[in-house]
Structures are given as C-alpha cells and as structure tokens.
Chain A
C-alpha cells in the first residue's frame, strides 16, 4: 500500500509544491525529481555525511529522511549555499587549504560546516572536531579540512556574510 502525499517546502529559498510517495527518500527527491545533483549518496546509513543537507538549518542525512518529512519546512543543499558566481567563504577556504581531493565528501562537509558556523561562529578546535566527526573523508586525512575550518573560525564576519 502506497500513499502519495502533497508536500510544500522551501528548497534553497524556492517554494516547491510536489506530490511524493510516502516511502520516497529526501535524497531521491532532491537528486532525481528536482535535479540537484550536488548532494551525494555514499554509505546510505547515516554514517558518512556525504548526503548532508540542512533542514530548518540543522544538518540531517538526506539518505535516511523521508521526503514527506520536509513538508512545510526549509531545505538547504550545497546548491543553496553556493553563490551564483564564484564560491562561498567556506568553499574558498576549502580550496585555499587543499581540503579536498576527489571531492565526493565535500558537499556534505560544506553543509556541516555551514551549520556549525551558523550556530557557533568561532568554534574551538575541540568543537570543530566534535561537530565534524560524523563526516568521513577518505582522501585528505582530515587535517586540511580541519585547518580550513579553523581559519574560518578565526575570521570576523558580518551576520549576513555567506
């Protein structure tokens, strides 16, 4: 037995109204129905963080979230935090510090760091490690990612800076 339910939500600031099957996963809605391919599926069990998106600003695993659960809420994906021209300050820091190689985990890391810096603009080293321990990277050994985030933690930015 399948239900098809109408949902309305904000995706990267854009209003979406769509019918979804109750068992559809958020990652499939985002990638396959709505065509935003920046969000990656990897472990498919909430461990690796590649599929991280923000739900009302909080990081979640889109691989293990039902699409119906975003009804009336705000979803932000990697596309939503990337400026139309160029890169956000978080993305620039990742490039500057060599914090990616293959890049598959990077969208998830950028989303997690976005949420971290929103909640805690100047995290301590311990806070950075604690927050990001649930995002896996098989290329960098994490040191470069940590350095990028630490450089951002030290920056003074205005409230509305991306």
Chain B
C-alpha cells in the first residue's frame, strides 16, 4: 500500500532539521524508513512532512573519543556498525548483533537511531545498549539533553523523545570486560534477548560490576538486578553457581507479555538459558584475556 501524501524536506544541518520538524503540523525525522515506512504504508502513522536527515553530515560517524567513550552516530546503518573497525575491536558482540538484525536489505538502510526511536519491544539493539550503559544525545529546539538508554523507551512503541528532538549520537564507555548477547527468535524479530556486560578488576579474574538486561519480554529492556548483585565482586570462576542460585527468583521478577512469541513461563525459561550461555561465553573470554 502507498503511504498517504506528505511533503519531503532535506535539511543539511541538525538545527534546520529540528526547526523543520517543529514548523507546523506533524513533521517526522526520516532516515532508512525500515520501520517508519512500514507503519506509514499500513496508515497507522501519518505525517504531513518527512524530514530526511541523510544529508546532514556527521550523523554516521563512529569513533572512540578522548574520554574513552565510543560514539555511534544515530544514522549509522546496521551494516555500517557490523563492519566498523572500532566496534569490531572494542564491542564485537555489538558488531555481530548488527550483522544479524532482520535481513540484509534492512541492514543496508535501517539505522540504529531509527531502531531505538521506534521503541519496538521486539528489537535487538535496545537491550544491548542498555547493558552497555549507553547515553542517547537528543538535540531539540531548546538545546541538547542526554537520556540513559534504560530511560529512553517509555513503553511499547513510545519513547521519551519529543517529536522535534533529533537523536544524534549514542555514547557508551569502552567496555572493560566481556560483552555478550544472545537472542531467540521465530521470525525476524527477537522473542527474547539477553545482553550482559562485565567490568573486570585489574588482573581480569574478578568481576568489578555487571550489567544484565533482558529484552523483548516486556515493553522495554529490564535489568536483572539480582544477577548483577550476586556476581559483583566475585571471581569469574564462581559465576555459574552464583547465577544459578538466584536465577529462578530473578526470572520471576521479570515483567513478561504473553504473545505470539510464547507464554510467560516459556519465555522466562528462554531468558535463563540465554543468560547462562552468555555467562559461559563471558567466563571463557575472561579466561582468555
């Protein structure tokens, strides 16, 4: 089906894009369109003006900055992140996540920023970015604000971003320990996914802190606080029994939607399996470091 008509603008600066969206009526930012155009074709989203951000320089940059943070421009396609040397060197799990989003055509044009802003619960990147403690930089008419990935998605298909705020860059500290990600899926979108990021103490045998996020089960990625707490400060070799001891309780606290991806018990079980496999991978990685 055709989207209903709209005006199309191609600003060349962030400021012009922000003011173009805010001008009058409903304007929307647009890049790859892999989520937005689907919704517009189904006529569940209508916009008077589509503001194409692909002509704005700098939004597709990936760098390790002087503060030892990794910056990913919001307009980077999944393909670009998958093959980027900085990402491959420092966060290989993010590279392979992006190499497996949807399908090859979506990865050619779909962007990480668009994925986040759509707020689709069954998505890969939000879970990983929350585990990486990413901050999202939003540029609006009143200036810039920074939102933590954990706080960005408010509910299903809903984020805290105002319509005239452009997500420009995603920033997270360069990981200092193993980062792992696993998902289970029936179709193209994950039914359950689990991301885990460890920060290792000097020597690499003790976990200084850990972040664990489970995605696709509720309306947004959820922390597994009990798991994070139990593995903090322990030796890598003690991780598995420590996780197993608290796993049923931790999984029981998750908010789980029952949907066509499965029932709640089944999805909780999957989350536990994926978490333990992530742990095995991280233990091996820490052993090899």
Known: A46-B106, A55-B108, A58-B108. A64 touches B33 (CB 8 A): yes
Instruction: Tell me if B102 counts as interface (CB < 8 A to partner A).
Output: yes
A 112-138 binary contact with B (CB < 8 Å = 1; else 0): 100100000000000000110111000
Residues in B whose Cβ lies below 8 Å from that of A19: none
Instruction: Tell me if A107 counts as interface (CB < 8 A to partner B).
Output: no
In the bound complex, do residue B37 and residue A64 qualify as a contact, i.e. CB atoms below 8 Å apart? yes
A 18-61 binary contact with B (CB < 8 Å = 1; else 0): 00011111001000000000000000111101001001001111
Residues in A whose Cβ lies below 8 Å from that of B7: 1-3, 22
Instruction: Tell me if A65 counts as interface (CB < 8 A to partner B).
Output: yes
Known: A1-B48, A134-B104. A60 touches B8 (CB 8 A): no
Instruction: Tell me if B5 counts as interface (CB < 8 A to partner A).
Output: yes
Q: Chain A interface: which size bin? A: 20 to 34
Interface of A is mostly: mixed
Instruction: Tell me if A68 counts as interface (CB < 8 A to partner B).
Output: yes
Instruction: Tell me if B44 counts as interface (CB < 8 A to partner A).
Output: no
A60 CB contact (under 8 Å) in B99, B105, B188: B105
In the bound complex, do residue A22 and residue B108 qualify as a contact, i.e. CB atoms below 8 Å apart? no
In the bound complex, do residue A44 and residue B50 qualify as a contact, i.e. CB atoms below 8 Å apart? no
In the bound complex, do residue B8 and residue A5 qualify as a contact, i.e. CB atoms below 8 Å apart? yes
B residues adjacent to A (C-beta < 8 A)? 1-8, 33-34, 37-38, 41, 48-50, 52, 54, 79, 99-100, 102-106, 108-109, 187-188
A residues adjacent to B (C-beta < 8 A)? 1-3, 5, 21-25, 28, 44-47, 49, 52, 55, 58-61, 64-66, 68-69, 112, 115, 130-131, 133-135
